[in-house]
Chains A and B, each alone.
Chain A
Amino acid sequence: MYASAQHGASRSDILTALGDTKQVGRKSCSTSGCCGQGKCGSQKGQGDLPSGLWDKVKTHPCYSEEAHHHYARMHVAVAPACNIQCNYCNRKYDCANESRPGVVSERLSPEQAVKKVLAVASAVPQMTVLGIAGPGDPLANPKRTFKTFELVKTAAPDIKLCLSTNGLMLPDYIDAISNFNVDHVTITINTVDPEIGTRIYPWIFYKHKRYTGHEAAKILTERQLQGLQMLTERGVLTKVNSVMIPGINDHHLAEVNKVVKSRGGFLHNIMPLISSPEHGTAFGASGQRGPSPQELKAVQDSCEGEMIMMRHCRQCRADAVGLLGESRTAEFTIERIMSMELNYDMDTRKAYRAKVEKERAAMIVAGHDALVGLADVSSDIKVLAAVATKGSGLINEHFGHAAEFQVYELSKAGAKFVGHRRVDVYCQGGYGEEGSLASIISAINDCHAVFVAKIGACPREALIKAGITPVDQFAHDFIVKSAIVWFTAYLKKVNSGEIAHVQRIQAGSRNATVISAA
């Protein structure tokens, strides 16, 4: 049998941490004028988290916004079966070019999965977390899921394990989860109201029976909340994912947030519904739309303060590999793994992490230092800035190579990560394409500036024309520090009357006229 797990954080730790974060957030409102995130000062470090908890999140890209710049995760697709049906999921098709949850190109046996973990860990020193997230429900495939965990624990003990589930079977597997020392569990809870549930879940399969309608939704909700509470009691960190479905649960998510918080949920991730007819889902067929970035941000903002909100989720595929926002899945197909030389070496990995931690510390210090300069400028202005980055918290991507931009909100309080925008890569093979440039501009047209490592003359001109300032003077420097330095100079110019501050239009109301008028 497996040795019983010793968890660093107990239930009371988690609850204290939640209480603490709120308190610190409130306190700093009066002392430093820093509000909102509820984790002021800690945004770039351990801050208010007790060390047991900090150890659990500091290298986890999904649990720590800040860690997601430095550490990578991988998912292994060992769990194809599912026991419920969601209206946003279609398990019939698989498209290799698609990046949405549930989609996967290759299903692995636990033995193949372990090989893949070792191959990735050998090649990608950033990889710290292994998740099992389907493509079905890991707990509808308990044998394969726990066999994989068992094999990975033995072969690569420094890798954290995590699990994503719809929660239906969760209460039955709490012991297994805690015995395997699974660090983090994600439960998808879209509603706590069975009436709303009937519009999201056509059926569930539970205790050898297919349930539909209200009964199905009720069983699912009860099991999810019961599972969440049991995990909290065992000290397992739990993230709750909610898919935001306009017209169905958008106004209800604040309630979900309250309920999951009261059951000890650590992090709440409100994700946009991805839906289009070609996905072949029930929502796709009924024309149910997803939310605009603006609607999503508004709902996230309305829940903020209750518990830590996650804003950097990339809605990864069940076979994702690499840093969040980056896909290296194609490099690690089973065929390739079989011919790869594995040299999984704990010492190299430890050394890498030590180096990263040093860089992170330098980054935090630089950010704090920059904030000092901002302290003597007064202003209520808030602006958004887009950043082209390959990770490590640096401005290190060419404008033309960026597949996404990370968006920061700059204010007196500093630079706060608020989201990311996917774009079509502008520079494919060295020449820019007019169409994609316009679409990039519209994706970031609520930003005042875009920070890049490098940018060509043409796109530079187009951005300026659209009212977005391209900034390349901080190439390869820390994002947060650079953004604050730039923003300080911006505020000074506004205050001295050198430039006038213009409120940028919101993303989501994008269209061609807006772009050319801007």
Chain B
Amino acid sequence: MPFKIVSSQCTGCSACELECPNAAIFERDGSFVIDSKKCTECIGHFDEPQCVAVCPVDRTCVIDTSLPRYQAPARGETA
């Protein structure tokens, strides 16, 4: 389940964009969006999803339950 951004909550501060290890976040009309295909839930990179940890507004970067959970590549595989 990748993360998504609740755009009505987003301040457009870009903090999450700067922290995302996968460059999954980009700006659209003054608010930020997550490309669900690129989001790895930060698994394998960091202990916490960076967008959630840095966002100044609670409940803005949330799990998108409509999509399946991200599968980290098995050992030896390259993403």
Which positions in A face B, CB cutoff 8 Å?
80-83, 85, 91-92, 107, 135-136, 140-141, 205, 208-210
Contact = CB atoms under 8 A, between A and B. Distances in A.
A80 B13 contact: yes
Contact of A140 (B15, B47, B48): B15
B56 A82 contact: yes
Nearest to B10: A92
Given A92-B57, A141-B18, A82 B13 contact: yes
B23 interface: no
Interface string B10-33: 011111011100000000000000
Contact of B54 (A80, A83, A92, A107): A83
B39 to A, nearest CB: 16
Highest count of chain A CB atoms <10 Å: which of B11, B48, B53: B11
B13 A91 contact: yes
A205 B13 contact: no
A305 to B, nearest CB: 39
A215 B35 CA distance: 33
Given A80-B12, A92-B11, A209-B48, A85 B56 contact: yes
27 contacts: A80-B12, A80-B13, A81-B13, A81-B14, A81-B15, A81-B54, A82-B13, A82-B15, A82-B56, A83-B15, A85-B56, A91-B11, A91-B13, A92-B11, A92-B56, A92-B57, A135-B13, A136-B13, A136-B15, A141-B14, A205-B19, A208-B46, A208-B48, A208-B53, A209-B53, A210-B48, A210-B54
B18 to A, nearest CB: 6
Main secondary structure of the interface of B (DSSP, over half): loop
B50 interface: yes
A205 B54 contact: yes
A502 to B, nearest CB: 51
A81 B9 CA distance: 15
Contacts of A92: 9, 11, 56-57
What 6 pairs across the A-B complex have the smallest Cβ distances? A81-B15, A210-B53, A80-B13, A205-B54, A208-B46, A91-B11
B38 to A, nearest CB: 18
A208 B13 contact: no
Contacts of B56: 82, 85, 91-92
Highest count of chain A CB atoms <10 Å: which of B12, B18, B56: B56
Contacts of B13: 80-82, 91, 135-136
A335 to B, nearest CB: 16
Contacts of A135: 13
Highest count of chain A CB atoms <10 Å: which of B9, B18, B46, B48: B18
A493 B46 CA distance: 75
B41 to A, nearest CB: 14
A244 B51 CA distance: 31
A205 B14 CA distance: 14
Contacts of B53: 205, 208-210
Contacts of B47: 208-209
A85 B13 CA distance: 13
Nearest to B54: A205
A17 B70 CA distance: 60
Highest count of chain B CB atoms <10 Å: which of A85, A141, A208: A208
Contacts of B50: 208
A135 B13 CA distance: 9
A242 B78 CA distance: 49
Contacts of B48: 208-210
Contacts of A85: 56
Contacts of B46: 208-209
A208 B47 CA distance: 8
Contacts of A82: 13, 15, 56
Nearest to B18: A81
Given A92-B9, A209-B48, 17 more contacts: A80-B11, A80-B14, A80-B15, A81-B13, A81-B15, A82-B15, A83-B15, A83-B54, A85-B56, A92-B56, A135-B13, A141-B14, A205-B53, A205-B54, A208-B19, A208-B48, A209-B53
B60 to A, nearest CB: 10
B71 to A, nearest CB: 22
A200 to B, nearest CB: 15
A209 B47 CA distance: 8
A91 B12 CA distance: 9
Nearest to A205: B54
A212 to B, nearest CB: 11
A107 B27 CA distance: 13
A91 B16 CA distance: 14
A215 to B, nearest CB: 14
Interface string B37-79: 0000000001110100110110000000000000000000000
A46 to B, nearest CB: 42
A208 B53 CA distance: 8
A381 B57 CA distance: 53
A272 to B, nearest CB: 23
A244 B38 CA distance: 44
Nearest to A94: B11
B21 to A, nearest CB: 9
B66 to A, nearest CB: 26
Contacts of A83: 15, 54
